[in-house]
Amino acid sequence: MDYFVESFLAALGLIFQFDPEVYRIVWTSLEISLTATVCAAFLAVPAGVWSASVEFRGKRLLRRSLNALMAMPTVMIGLVFYGLFSRRGPLGDLGLLYTPTAVIIGEAVLIFPLVMNLAMTGVDSADPRLLPTLRSLGATPVQQFRLVLSETRMSLLVAVAAGFGRAIEEVGTAMMLGGNIHGLTRTMTTAIALETSKGEFELGLALGMMLLLVAFSVNWLLQSVDRGAG
């Protein structure tokens, strides 16, 4: 018990003394995960809204495919992109492996099905009279899209936040594509795994606290926006 208490106090010291190593890793994590989330949401949110608003053949299959992709092991995504980005792979000449760009691509692909699925669910849970009313009033597809976005903005924000939460807690893809390189691709999760295996429990615990702080901050932000919208 004494060991844990001492480690906990040492971890707090690293945080409140603004240890440069801790905050460098935190910043790298936030930069990579936020970029991946923005890239995924830019495509997944419009795709989800459109798919939920329009009836077409294969819609049920699309749902099932998204659910299956959400459950895909993250190391499989890392493995596929590792093969694509490695020197002998078809995209090896781009030199993306073990760079932040490779991690961003992997995480964006990882969270795309989650964000799109939640976006579809958010539109489905809206007032069922919304789309028929817009169509009866003669709204163009673009106008319908904008109004649906406005009416379901909280649900869509939750979808994006869930994607960010999945991205920032990712280990397998970040490790395989980023290589856990100090000062470049070392994120909170990969650093926690590394430092704990090295016996640097204090640093790992400090990073774990910061990871929890980010998760709680996102949740608080969502609740604040929800109250503001209400």
From the CB of residue 127, how many other CB atoms can be counted at a distance below 10 Å? Answer: 10
Q: Which amino acid is at 86?
A: S
Nearest to 70 by CA among 123, 117, 125, 35: 117
**Residue 20, token pair as written in the block:** 């440069």
Give the per-residue pLDDT at 97. 93
Q: What is the pLDDT of residues 52-65, one digit of tens each?
A: 888 788 888 999 99
Average pLDDT, integer, range 203-215: 92
Nearest to 23 by CA among 214, 180, 220, 177: 214
Give the per-residue pLDDT at 155. 84
Phi, psi of 179 (to 5 degrees): 75, 5
pLDDT averaged over the chain? 88
Domains, the chain, ordered by start = 2-229 (1.10.3720.10)
Average pLDDT, integer, range 155-169: 90
Torsion, CA 85, CA 167, CA 189, CA 11, rounded to 10: 150
Give the per-residue pLDDT at 229. 54
Give the per-residue pLDDT at 134. 73
Give the per-residue pLDDT at 225. 64
Q: Which residue has the higher pLDDT, 108 or 70?
A: 108
Question: What proportion of the chain, given as a percentage, has pLDDT over 70?
Answer: 97
From the CB of residue 5, how many other CB atoms can be counted at a distance below 10 Å? Answer: 9
CB 123 within 8 A of CB 48: yes
At 144, is the pLDDT very low, low, confident or very high (cuts 50, 70, 90)? confident
Give the per-residue pLDDT at 230. 54
